[in-house]
Amino acid sequence: MRTTKAVVFDLDGVITDTAKYHYLAWKNMADKLGIQIDESFNEQLKGVSRIDSLKRILAHGNKLDAYSPEEIERLANEKNEEYKVLIEDVTAADLLPGIEAFLQELKAASIKMAIGSASKNAPMILEKLGILDYFEYIVDVNHIVNGKPAPDIFLDAIQGLGVKASEAVGIEDAEAGIEALQKAQISSIGIGVIGDTTLPSTAELNISLLS
Ligand code: BG6
Ligand code: MG
């Protein structure tokens, strides 16, 4: 008898490779602000909310105090406008390897599924990918005060699905996300990042990994 009743998926970098577009848009914004960022710095932006990502970039360039909250909001919106252009042509072909088969496997086993993403663009991206209907619950980050690495997004996800932390598994590609799962006491599968179970890619996801 399986104890896992639910799986909570991160979106960017787990279901589809939008992480590269987030990086591209942030890199362009940082260039404009005269701040150098590279892929290694970008690792600490993964899973982090739009505003917090911008604040981290500004702090990295010692420029956090140079911008008012209103200017930060405007710059974050500007980055999002560029990001939305970059993801305009996303389709089902952009699902990461093994994801669709894994979703089908979970559905056939009546395991509940939720999205626990920090992204306000999540519903739109799921729609473009054609997989919206698999998910019984999508965390609305507009109502979440503390983003990852705080546990709030994942706690909201399990509450939305009506399962206990011990009955859920979370899938993440970001250090901030794994930390959030740990704080929520939900066991984790890390994709390219160390979790309770660690996988090199989504292609290895399958139901036998769930206890
Ligand atoms: C996370 C991404 O899923 O969502 C972050 O890993 C991103 O890079 C965050 O900053 C917020 O996304 P959005 O789409 O609301 O700007
Ligand atoms: Mg991610």
On the question of pLDDT at 168 being above 90, the answer is yes
Count of CB atoms situated within 10 Å of the CB of 206: 13
Same domain, 79 and 105: no
Same domain, 101 and 164: yes
Same domain, 43 and 125: no
Domain that holds residue 167: 6-17+94-210
Same domain, 119 and 150: yes
In ligand 1, the atom with minimum distance to the C-alpha of 118 is 4
Count of CB atoms situated within 10 Å of the CB of 85: 11
User: Which pLDDT does position 72 carry in this prediction?
Assistant: 97
Q: Is residue 1 part of a domain?
A: no
Same domain, 99 and 188: yes
Cβ pair 179, 148 in contact under 8 A: yes
- Convert the pLDDT of each residue in 45-90 to its tens digit: 999 999 999 999 999 999 999 999 999 999 999 999 999 999 999 9
CATH of the domain at 26: 1.10.150.240
Same domain, 78 and 132: no
Residues forming a β-bridge with 94: none
Whether the predicted model's global pTM rises above the 0.85 cut:
yes
DSSP of 83-111, one letter per residue?
Answer: HHHHTTT--GGGBPTTHHHHHHHHHHTT-
Q: pLDDT exceeding 90 applies to what percent of the chain? A: 98
| 107 CA distance to ligand 1 middle (Å) | 26
Number of separate domains in the chain? 2
Cβ contacts of residue 50 below 8 Å, gap of 6+? 76, 79, 80, 120
Count of CB atoms situated within 10 Å of the CB of 11: 22
94 catalytic residue (yes or no): no
- Cβ < 6 Å from ligand 1: which residues? 11-12, 19, 22, 45-50, 53, 80, 117-121, 174
10 catalytic residue (yes or no): yes
Q: What is the mean pLDDT of residues 96-104?
A: 98
In ligand 1, the atom with minimum distance to the C-alpha of 52 is 10
